[in-house]
Structure 1
Amino acid sequence: MANVPTNLLVNWFEQRGQLHDLRAKSHLSDSDERQVWSLLNELVAVADDIVASIAPNGSGPAQR
């Protein structure tokens, strides 16, 4: 993990915390549900960036 830029990890944990807080609610409004999906998409993008920083030559799993 030494090669992972710190800002990517900060982004991951901040967004993960926001997602956790939203999912802890007993009822989600339509706006909350949109935010959950947005955060999930953002987390996947950050995870992709983290993986790319570790395996920049595409040595990871094939793209879908």
Structure 2
Amino acid sequence: MPTYSYVCKDCQHSFDAQQSFSDAALEICPICQGSLRKQFGNLGVTFKGSGFYKTDSAAPSTSSD
């Protein structure tokens, strides 16, 4: 299950919540009942190198044994 970061617009309380993709976003701060917003950070994926090419994922080989 993905973890989302939230911060309260009123009291600046920040916390993480594990939610399913289909769950609605949280809207109410558990501390002051103010409104929340999702925080978006860096992705956990890093692409390195000169790029991806058509030959990087070759088609499955067909052999007749």
Q: TM-score, normalised by structure 2?
A: 0.26
Higher RCO (CA-CA < 8 Å; seq separation 6+): 1
Higher share of residues assigned helix: 1
Rg comparison, structure with higher value: 2
Higher share of residues assigned strand: 2
Q: TM-score, normalised by structure 1?
A: 0.27
